[in-house]
Amino acid sequence: MTKKILTIGEILVEFVATTQGDGFGEAQPLTGPYPSGAPAIFIDQVGRMGQACAILGRVGDDDFGHLNIDRLRDDGVDVNGIEIAYGEVTGCAFVRYRPDGSRRFVFTLPQSAAARLPATSASEALIDSCDHLHMMGTALTIPDIAALARSAVQRIKARGGSLSFDPNLRAEMLDTPGLREELAYMLAQADLFLPSGDEIFLFSDATTEQDAVDDLLGRGISDIVVKRGSQGASHYCRNGRKDVTPLSVEEIDPTGAGDCFGGAFVALWLNGAAPEIALRYANAAGAHSVTRLGPMEGAATKHQLDRLLASQEINS
C-alpha cells in the first residue's frame, strides 16, 4: 500500500531582493511572488517524488494563496486540507541577502491567514488518511498548529505511523513563548530527526556531534540526518554513520535546500530505502534546489535527481 505523508504548517509567498545589501530601508527591485513556507516546500518536493502526500495549512483568498494551491496541486500534493480564509491575506516573506550570505527578512506570518489553523472534522479525516507526519519548527511557533500537530502525532502513531522532525529554526524564533516545549514534544515522539548543523545541540548537553547523536539515538529516535549546507550531510543510526559529499552546483539561492533535502529523504526512508540511497537522493535534492531562484522552484522529480547524479558521476 502506498504510504501518505502529511505536513502541517505555513504556506507563504516569498519576494527576493535582486540586489545584495542590508534589508529593505530603501526602494529596490524585487522578484516574486514565489510559492514558499518551509512545510510547503517540503511537501512539494515529496509530491514531485511521486509520493502520496498532503498539507494542512491556511491561505487568504488572494492571488498569493491560489498561486500556492495551484503549484502544490500540479506537483501532486493533496490540497484539500488547505483552508481558504476569506477576508484574510496570505502570509508574505521578503528576503534580501547580505554580501556575506546572511539574510534579512520581513515576515508577515503572524498577521496572516497562516497564523491560525483551527481543527475541523475535515482536518481530522485527512490526518486519519495519512501514515507519516513531518513537522518543522517554524510551524510550531503557531499555537493552533502546535495543538493540531500534537493531536496528529497521537492519531498517526496510534495507527502504527511515524514522525519526522526538522527543527528548521532561526535564532530569533527561539524566544517564542511555549516553542521550546513544543520542540521537545516533537523530538520525544520523532522516529527520524533532521537537524541542520548546530541544531543537533538544541536538545542535548553533549559537546560533540557524536555524543549528541548517541544521546538522541538512546531516546527512541531511530535515524538522524545532519544537514551541512554546501558541506553535504551525514546519516546516523544504531548501525553507524554514513556521509555524503556535496554535489558541485552553482548556488543561486540557498533558501529551501533543507526542505527539499528533507522531502526527498523522508519519501525514500518511508518506503524502506537503504539510508545511503535516501541520503544520496536527498543530497541531490538539496543541491538541485539551490540552483534555482525562489525557494520552491528547485524542487525536483526523481528523474531530474537521477540526471543530476549521473552528470556528476560522469564529471568526477
Please give the residue ranges that form the binding site for Mg ion (CB under 5 A).
168, 258
CA distances in angstroms from 36 to 46, 91, 100, 126, 191, listed in the order given: 14, 9, 23, 22, 26
Cβ of residue 258: shortest distance to Mg ion, in angstroms?
3
For position 35 contacting ligand ATP by CB under 6 A, the verdict is no
Q: Which residue is nearest to Mg ion (CB)?
A: 258
CA distances in angstroms from 196 to 36, 132, 199, 271, listed in the order given: 19, 21, 5, 23
CA 130 – CA 52 distance, rounded (Å): 9
**Each residue of 100-137: b (16+ CB within 10 Å) or e?**
eeebeeebbbeebbbbebeeeeebeebbeebbbbbbbb
Nearest Cα residue to 88 out of 67, 58, 118 = 58
For position 229 contacting ligand ATP by CB under 6 A, the verdict is yes
Span of 51-59, 107-115, 126-134, 222-230 interacting with ligand ATP by CB under 6 A: 222-230
Cβ of residue 305: shortest distance to ligand ATP, in angstroms?
12
Cβ of residue 231: shortest distance to ligand ATP, in angstroms?
7
Nearest Cα residue to 44 out of 310, 293, 289, 270 = 289
Contact 187, 156 (CB under 8 A): no
Interaction partner, residue 70 (ligand ATP, Mg ion, none; CB < 5-8 Å by kind): none
Q: Which of residues 136-175 bind ligand ATP (CB under 6 A)?
A: 168
Span of 15-23, 126-134, 140-148, 245-253 interacting with ligand ATP by CB under 6 A: 245-253
What is the DSSP secondary structure assignment for residue 80, as one 8-state letter?
T
Cβ of residue 14: shortest distance to Mg ion, in angstroms?
14
For position 246 contacting ligand ATP by CB under 6 A, the verdict is yes
Q: Which residues lie across from 17 on neighbouring strands?
A: 30
Interaction partner, residue 233 (ligand ATP, Mg ion, none; CB < 5-8 Å by kind): ligand ATP
Which three cell numbers, joined as nine digits, stand for 292? 534555482
- Contact residue for ligand ATP among 261, 265, 269, 281 (CB under 6 A): 261
Residue 23 or 254 having the CB closest to ligand ATP: 254
Q: Which residues form the interface with ligand ATP (CB under 6 A)? A: 168, 196, 227-230, 232-233, 246-247, 249, 251, 254-259, 261, 283, 286-287, 290
